[in-house]
Homo-oligomer: A and B are copies of this chain.
Amino acid sequence: MKFCSACGSAVSHIVPDGDNRLRFVCNQCQLIHYQNPRIITGCLPVYVADKQTEATVLLCKRAIQPRKGWWTLPAGFLENGETTAAGAIRETQEEANANIKIQNLYSLYSLPHISQVYMFFRAQLLDLNFSPGIESLEVKLFKESEIPWDELAFPVISATLKYYFADRKLDTYPTRYEEIIRPSS
């Protein structure tokens, strides 16, 4: 950030009066430009054909960077004006053309080194009419034994899948909060 988005003047990176953090402050109009973490919202789409059949999970192979070619759960940046559940449904439509019903908020991760908060809703995949969206190379259902653990795109994906397959044995799905701490880049 070099210029004020309100008046176009140059900004300085200083600690404003009464604050204790560096902020971008306009040299001209004095506006403080706060910068805050962003939310990534997504879901864990579970398909259960019937009680006799093992549940499967829908994963998407990423067509975009970062981690192009790696498997992920449908997720993306929450937009202004939408709820986190609506964002998860939208991302699942965009990335997998898949129809889901939200069940519960299932996992939330803080990633302070990249100023992101990730959250996943457990969801019921309503039918088999799914296909790759523009950001996916392939979308596919996986049994637990088929999950490509070594080809998962992000730590939040493997953590959420591990929680799910453990919880499924007890048929109870409490919300998890986890902090993923890495050196800042």
Chain A residues with a Cβ under 8 A of chain B: 1-8, 10-11, 18, 21, 24, 33-39, 77-86, 104-105, 108, 110, 112-113, 115, 117, 119, 121, 134, 174-175, 177, 179, 181, 184
Contact = CB atoms under 8 A, between A and B. Distances in A.
Contacts of A8: 2-3, 8, 10
Contacts of A79: 21, 36-37
A146 B34 CA distance: 37
Contact of A36 (B39, B112, B134, B179): B39
A80 B35 CA distance: 7
A69 B75 CA distance: 40
Given A1-B5, A3-B8, A78 B108 contact: no
Contacts of A10: 8
